[in-house]
Amino acid sequence: MRTAAPRTAFVTGGASGIGRALALALAAKGVAVTVADLVAPDLPGMDLPEMDHVELDVTSPEAVAAAVQAVRRRHGRLDFVFNNAGIAVGGHTEELTLDHWNRTIDVNLRGVVHGVHAAYPIMIEQGHGHIVNTASLAGLVPAPLMLPYTATKHAVVGLSMALRAEAAAHGVRVSVVCPGFTDTPLLDNANPGLPYTETGAQARDAAVRAQGRLYPVESLAADIMRGVARNQALIVAPASGRLAWRAARLSPVGAIRAAALAIGRVSPPLKRT
């Protein structure tokens, strides 16, 4: 009797943080996972027979397309694509340069666009598949002091919701993940490769002050897996994030006022000389 080919998943930013937790959760369910990242995966635990690793810069559309096509050729199918790669860029807006903005747009937005552009036609052709884009709670609520990041995450939410409406007719599912502050290396590597407006330690401290505690990445991965299984359009976690999102929907003006008040607690005004 011929056995069915295993389901496959392609995870960008899969070497650490949310991507790593997702890759491990998928592999535990028998999914053949391709982990794509600029760096080698965070071992141990990632050297599983269910996992392949590929070096990938998501800002290159040609490289993303080639990596996605390679997964389909190798396994004969493409079931899940997690467009998860991202960077954290923030600071007082008047201190940010266009390099901060452009780098964030290239990775956090164009990286998602490249993943969708590569995977969506394949999924339409095969009549099934699930695209899962990682945005942020910052894509749903006012998030000052991180405007490049906030702008791209709002864009990813909008892209995902609109694509979901189109994709349903082709049997393709689309979800977007909006986590609150999660305990990942993203915070420690704030403003990567760019002039720092704050250190990673300052970013982590600010996140703890804003949310109370950082959400464990394994818990978030479990939330995402449940949401994908249920075909949720929007996966928001933790519970405090869902509360903030609902409050912002009920009172956008109130959410802006609350964000303005929080600025002083999270990052005092810069002193001018």
The residue to which tokens 């794509």 are assigned: 36
Phi-psi region of 84 (alpha: psi -120 to 50; beta: other; left: phi over 0): alpha
- Write out the DSSP string of 186-217: HHHT-STTS--SS-HHHHHHHHHHHHSSPBPH
Annotation marks residue 196 as catalytic: no
Q: Work out the end-to-end distance of the chain between its first and last CA atoms, rounded to an integer number of angstroms.
A: 77
SS3 (DSSP) at 62: helix
Provide the CB-side half-sphere exposure for 23 (13 A, CA).
32
- C-alpha to C-alpha distance for 124 and 114, rounded to whole angstroms: 16
- Does the N-terminal peptide bond of residue 216 adopt cis geometry, omega within 30 degrees of 0? no
- φ, ψ of residue 177 to 5 degrees: the values are -100, 130
- C-alpha to C-alpha distance for 196 and 116, rounded to whole angstroms: 31
The active-site residue, picked from 120, 149, 196, 215, is 149
Distant-in-sequence, close-in-space partners of 12: CB < 8 Å, separation ≥ 6: 19, 36, 37, 56, 58, 64, 82, 83, 84, 85, 111, 115
- C-alpha to C-alpha distance for 8 and 77, rounded to whole angstroms: 7
The residue to which tokens 């609520």 are assigned: 141
Using alpha carbons only, how large is the chain's radius of gyration in Å? Answer: 19
- C-alpha to C-alpha distance for 221 and 249, rounded to whole angstroms: 25
SS3 (DSSP) at 96: coil
Which residues are marked as active site?
149
